[in-house]
């Protein structure tokens, strides 16, 4: 509900105007829209209580927000929290000294948004999120600095709690920091949307001739026909005469359709209802009737000169999307299928006609399309558009999205098609589609597709968030990505450097970092280590072996932390061909040996890093023998080396969790598996999962720990229910599982109380997991209880962090 305030108010310098009713309906959540006329410093204060007559925000000691438009002589936007400056940016939301300018400011649980225009929650130009939100602010003060500020048409709106403002600022934005290190979100794409075409001659294909003055008002057939019953909009008809309708009433109707919001004088509600009913815009008919009934029941509210606000119930923050407007998506889909009201035929070279579309629908999503159709290019003068080098299937999927805002299941299930769609969304500037594609690609990402995907999107600026996510993923699983394949050598140099320099780079040995740099420099298609490179240099030179990437090798080698390598390996490197051919490597190895022998003093800041363990380095827990005390679960029982061993499930501070497929009972006791004592009966009973019977024991290492498992040990309890087919699995979330070793008809366990251990080999041994489980996939040899998985001991080994 919007409440109209004074139509004109002048605030003298260094003063602030307050009114009891100029307040948010809900504390911490609301929006104020207004017009201001000023040279600089249009200032609004948001606090928990009304300020005094002599109030000024510079002297306020109580919690408050202050937003200043046109600070520093109309050059900057400032936001203050409790008098402390937290945002100071140039060129945002500036004032106008020649006429009234429209603004709005919203606060929603600490998210402060600033916009230009008459329509709140549209035209966002700046957002900032308070890390410690003041959810109590409610009253609004209109203030100034050293010059008079004139305010008018001040309106306070309630923000619907379900409006997810912040999630729309996840991709397609630039992130910078203010002087205090707080994150600032700024929209970096052009303003667009259906509201830009309201009563615009651009792309219009029909006219209303309104009133006795016969005023022409342009519109778009497809939009109107999708919002109501505008059957008069036939292909041969483009003029509709409304001699008995005033322009203000028609404007309100069109504004409601194109923006989801409008306003009208009370005495014109009946006329607007009649026009809406004539064209069957039923959501507006209903709102008119509700307001008319409310005014009828309370005479005190009746004032013909007052303005009534009407808002489509589904309006969202970015109301450019058709789903948030009073427009039928089903009708638009039908128009695309039939070509009704179409004004452009789209062809793809070597494919043919792909769609009979509507320029206004394409343009409201895409700035490139809008420019193509409106700025005098050849496409704006014809009803045909031919595209080159565009995948037809992906383009048709993009068109579907432009009409209904949804991705079909075929796209979601096809990674290759999703990637093509992402590139098209970037090419045509379809921001929302780009966001959806980025999120879905990350959701369906497999380990084998990370490097190929990163190779494709690394050069696309709008894909920065997904690029940074993939770079971090490779850095945190570095051993896997450089050992499972050579895909990483096809990455561009800047991307690979980002990975090597990443603060989250996690490796089991610095030797692997050295090997990866050499493989990258050679663009090799086979896995190799530095020793093979050493052999190749016997009959070659670095310039030949590394080619144009030789300088990259020189630049990357200092990021290897040579002092962390074993001394024997450093001595071997010191005597190798590779160090004699690559001086920078020789210097780094000599430096590391000298550091180990006698320490190093007076290191530069950037050099100190080479002598420190990585933040996310692994600890090797190596299998020695069955039942040893070198495994992860034993290590957890010492609180990772802090005290003598105790059963980790009985410790005061539990470091791990063990669960079974069946409920805990006398004979299903998780603490037995880490008790290090023999138990005659201990089993996990069967359960039904995804239509299949299975039994399992699962270990959770905790949210702060992961393990690259390369060995595990089991011990049979006192029964003869020997397992024959089971899987050993790892998971990051406890839901999606990766097989680390598959046992089929494995007869290793053949005695009660027997220990048995197996190695984990292959690329999956280099993937870190939080959860591990042994899961029975077929019955045991026991005919009585064939699905009881009987174990009394479990231990895991590998690289732990």
372-393 pLDDT, tens per residue? 887 655 555 678 899 999 999 9
Q: What is the pLDDT of residue 33?
A: 82
Per-residue CA distances from 196 to 193, 287, 389 (Å):
6, 24, 30
6: Cα separation from own chain's centroid: 42
DSSP assignments along 149-207, one per residue:
EEEEEEEEEPPPTT--TGGGSSSSEEEEE-TTS-EEEEE-S---SGGGGTT-STT--EE
Nearest-5° Cα angle at 365, 361 to 369 = 80
Long-range contacts of 688-693 (CB under 8 A, 24+ apart): 693/787
553 vs 641: CA distance, rounded Å? 39
The whole-number pLDDT of residue 158 equals 63
| All domains of the chain in start order, with CATH | 9-157 (2.60.120.200), 194-297+304-311 (3.30.710.10), 329-444 (3.30.710.10), 507-617 (no CATH), 619-800 (2.60.120.260)
Coil, strand, or helix at residue 391? coil
Residue 103 CA to residue 90 CA, distance in Å, equals: 17
Q: What would the mean pLDDT of 252-260 be, rounded to a whole number?
A: 93
Distance, in Å, from the CA atom of 446 to the CA atom of 427, rounded to the nearest integer, reads: 25
Residues sharing a CB contact under 8 Å with residue 193, sequence separation 6 or more, in sequence order:
122, 318, 319, 320, 364
Kindly state the average pLDDT of the residues 452-470.
Answer: 86
Q: Is residue 453 within 8 Å of residue 470, measured between CB atoms?
A: yes
pLDDT tens-digit readout, 494-508: 999 999 998 888 888
Q: Which residue has the higher pLDDT, 793 or 618?
A: 793
E strand map for 39-83: 42-47, 64-70, 76-81
Taking residues 403-408, what's their average pLDDT? 81
Model pLDDT, residue 597: 82
Contacts of 254 (CB under 8 A, 6+ apart): 198, 199, 217, 219
> With 70 as the cut, is the pLDDT of residue 315 above it?
no
Backbone angles phi, psi at 310, to 5 degrees: -130, 125
CA distances 618 to 559, 566, 613, Å, are 18, 15, 10
Q: How many helices (H) and strands (E) does the chain have?
A: 25, 34
pLDDT, position 358: 93
pLDDT tens digit string along 93-144? 677 777 888 888 989 888 898 887 654 554 568 888 898 999 999 999 999 8
Does pTM top 0.85 for this prediction? no
Cα–Cα distances in angstroms (integers) from residue 513 to residues 179, 455, 473, 611, 617, in the given order: 36, 20, 16, 15, 13
Q: Where do we find the tokens 């209880």? A: 785
Between 159 and 157, the more confident residue is 157
Query: How much of the chain, in percent, has pLDDT values that exceed 70?
Result: 88
Confidence of residue 615 (pLDDT cuts 50, 70, 90): low
pLDDT at 258 over 80: yes
For residue 440, give the nearest of 462, 408, 468, 478 by alpha carbon.
408
Q: Are strands 206-210 and 239-242 parallel, antiparallel or unpaired?
A: parallel
Q: How many CB atoms lie within 10 A of CB 729?
A: 21
> How open is the CA angle 375-403-257, to the nearest 5 degrees?
80
Predicted local distance difference test score (pLDDT) of residue 506: 87
DSSP code at position 472: H
What pLDDT shows up at residue 175? 38
User: Could you give the CA distance from residue 353 to residue 346 in angstroms, rounded to a whole number?
Assistant: 6
Identify whether the C-beta of residue 172 lies closer than 8 Å to the C-beta of residue 67. Answer: no
The tokens describing 194, both together, are 């259906």
Other CB atoms closer than 10 Å to residue 476's CB: what's the count? 16
Annotate 402-420 with DSSP letters as a single string.
HHHS---HHHHH-HHHHHH
With a cut of 80, say whether residue 176 has pLDDT above it.
Answer: no
- Radius of gyration (C-alpha) of the chain in whole angstroms: 34
For residue 327, which phi and psi values (nearest 5 degrees)? Answer: -125, 135
Interval 33-46 mean pLDDT: 89
Check if the beta carbon of residue 656 is closer than 8 Å to that of residue 701: yes
CA-wise closest residue to 178 among 131, 135, 133: 131
User: pLDDT above 90 covers what percent of the chain?
Assistant: 48
CA distances from 214 to 126, 230, 254 (A): 41, 20, 17
67: pLDDT strictly greater than 60: yes
pLDDT at 632: 95
What residues does 156 pair with on adjacent strands? 3, 32
* CB of 227 closer than 8 Å to CB of 328: yes
Interatomic CA distance for residues 636 and 738, integer angstroms: 23
pLDDT category at 53 given cuts 50, 70, 90 is: low
Indicate if the pLDDT at residue 543 is higher than 80.
Answer: yes
Residue 740 has pLDDT above 90, yes or no: yes
Mean pLDDT of all residues in the chain? 85
What 8-state DSSP symbol labels residue 769?
B
Tokens coding 56: 């000024």
Read off the pLDDT of each residue in 274-299 and give the average, rounded to a whole number.
Answer: 90
- Reported as a pLDDT band with limits 50, 70 and 90, residue 159 is low
* Distance separating alpha carbons of residues 557 and 762, to the nearest angstrom: 27
Q: Say if CB 165 and CB 171 are below 8 A apart.
A: no
Q: Is 127 helix (H, G, I), strand (E, B) or coil?
A: strand
Cβ-based burial of 106 (10 A; exposed 0-12, middle 13-18, buried ≥19): buried
Residue 317 has pLDDT above 60, yes or no: no
Q: What share of the chain is helix, strand, coil (3-state, %, to 5)?
A: 35, 25, 40
DSSP-derived secondary structure letter, 663: -
């Amino acid at each position: 509900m919007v409440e109209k305030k004074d139509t004109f108010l002048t605030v003298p310098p260094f003063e602030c105007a307050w009114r009891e009713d100029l307040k948010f309906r809900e504390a911490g959540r609301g929006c104020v829209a207004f017009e201001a006329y000023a040279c600089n410093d249009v200032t609004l204060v948001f606090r928990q209580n009304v300020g005094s007559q002599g109030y000024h925000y510079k002297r306020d000691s109580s919690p408050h927000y202050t937003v200043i438009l046109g600070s520093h002589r109309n050059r900057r936007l400032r936001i203050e929290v409790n008098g402390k400056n937290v945002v100071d940016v140039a060129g945002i939301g500036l004032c106008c000294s020649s006429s009234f300018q429209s603004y709005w400011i919203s606060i929603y649980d600490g998210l402060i948004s600033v916009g230009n225009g008459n329509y709140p929650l549209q035209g966002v130009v700046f957002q900032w999120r308070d890390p410690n939100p003041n959810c109590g602010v409610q009253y609004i003060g209109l203030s100034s600095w050293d010059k008079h500020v004139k305010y008018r048409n001040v309106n306070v709106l309630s923000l619907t709690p379900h409006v997810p403002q912040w999630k729309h600022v996840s991709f397609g934005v630039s992130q910078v920091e203010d002087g205090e290190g707080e994150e600032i979100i700024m929209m970096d794409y052009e303003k667009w949307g259906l509201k830009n075409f309201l009563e615009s001659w651009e792309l219009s294909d029909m006219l209303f001739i309104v009133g006795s003055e016969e005023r022409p008002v342009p519109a778009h057939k497809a939009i109107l026909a999708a919002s109501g019953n505008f059957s008069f909009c036939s292909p041969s008809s483009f003029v509709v005469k409304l001699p008995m309708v005033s322009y203000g009433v028609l404007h309100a109707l069109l504004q409601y359709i194109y923006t989801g919001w409008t306003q009208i004088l009370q005495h014109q509600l009946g006329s607007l209802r009649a026009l809406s009913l004539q064209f069957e815009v039923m959501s507006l008919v209903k709102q008119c009737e509700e307001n008319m009934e409310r005014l009828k029941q309370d005479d005190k509210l009746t004032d013909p000169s007052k303005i009534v606000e009407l808002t489509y119930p589904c309006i969202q923050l970015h109301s450019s999307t058709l789903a948030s407007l009073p427009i039928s998506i089903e009708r638009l889909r039908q128009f695309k299928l039939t070509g009704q009201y179409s004004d452009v035929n789209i062809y793809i070279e070597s494919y043919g006609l792909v769609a009979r579309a509507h320029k206004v629908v394409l343009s409201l999503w895409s700035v490139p399309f809008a420019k193509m159709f409106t700025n005098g290019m050849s496409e704006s003068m014809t009803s045909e558009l031919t595209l080159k080098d565009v995948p037809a299937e992906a383009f048709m999927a993009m068109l579907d999205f432009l009409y209904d805002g949804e991705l079909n299941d075929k796209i979601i299930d096809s990674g290759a098609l999703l990637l093509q769609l992402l590139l098209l969304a970037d090419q045509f500037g379809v921001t929302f589609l780009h966001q959806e594609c980025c999120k879905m690609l990350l959701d369906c990402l497999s380990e084998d597709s990370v490097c190929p995907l990163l190779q494709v999107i690394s050069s696309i600026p709008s894909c920065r968030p997904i690029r940074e996510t993939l770079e971090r993923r490779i850095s945190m699983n570095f051993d896997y990505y450089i050992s499972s394949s050579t895909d990483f050598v096809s990455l561009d140099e800047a991307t690979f450097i980002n990975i090597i320099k990443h603060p989250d780079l996690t490796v089991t040995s610095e030797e692997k970092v050295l090997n990866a740099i050499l493989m990258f420099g050679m663009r090799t298609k086979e896995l190799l280590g530095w020793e093979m490179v050493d052999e190749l240099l016997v009959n070659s030179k670095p310039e030949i072996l590394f080619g144009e990437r030789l300088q990259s090798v020189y630049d990357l080698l200092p990021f290897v932390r040579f002092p962390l390598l074993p001394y024997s390996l450093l001595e071997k490197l010191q005597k190798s061909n590779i160090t004699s051919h690559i001086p920078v490597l020789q210097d780094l190895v000599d430096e590391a040996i000298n550091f180990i022998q006698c320490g190093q003093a007076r290191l530069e800041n950037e050099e100190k890093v080479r002598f420190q363990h990585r933040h996310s380095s692994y600890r090797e827990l190596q299998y020695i023998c069955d039942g040893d005390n070198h495994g992860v679960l034993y290590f957890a029982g010492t609180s990772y080396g802090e005290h003598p061993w105790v059963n980790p499930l009985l410790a005061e501070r539990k470091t791990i969790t063990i669960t079974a497929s069946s409920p805990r009972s006398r004979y299903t006791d998780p603490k037995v598996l880490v008790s290090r004592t023999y138990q005659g009966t201990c089993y996990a009973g069967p359960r039904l999962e995804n239509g299949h019977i299975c039994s399992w024991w699962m270990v959770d290492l905790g949210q702060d720990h992961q393990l690259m498992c390369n060995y595990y040990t089991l011990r049979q309890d006192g029964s003869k229910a020997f397992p024959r087919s089971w899987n050993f699995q790892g998971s990051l979330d406890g839901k999606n599982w990766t097989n680390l070793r598959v046992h089929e008809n494995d007869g290793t366990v053949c005695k009660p109380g027997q220990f048995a251990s197996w190695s984990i080999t292959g690329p999956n041994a280099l993937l870190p997991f939080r959860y591990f489980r042994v899961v029975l996939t077929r019955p045991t040899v026991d005919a009585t209880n064939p699905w009881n998985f009987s174990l009394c001991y479990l231990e895991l080994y590998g690289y732990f962090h």
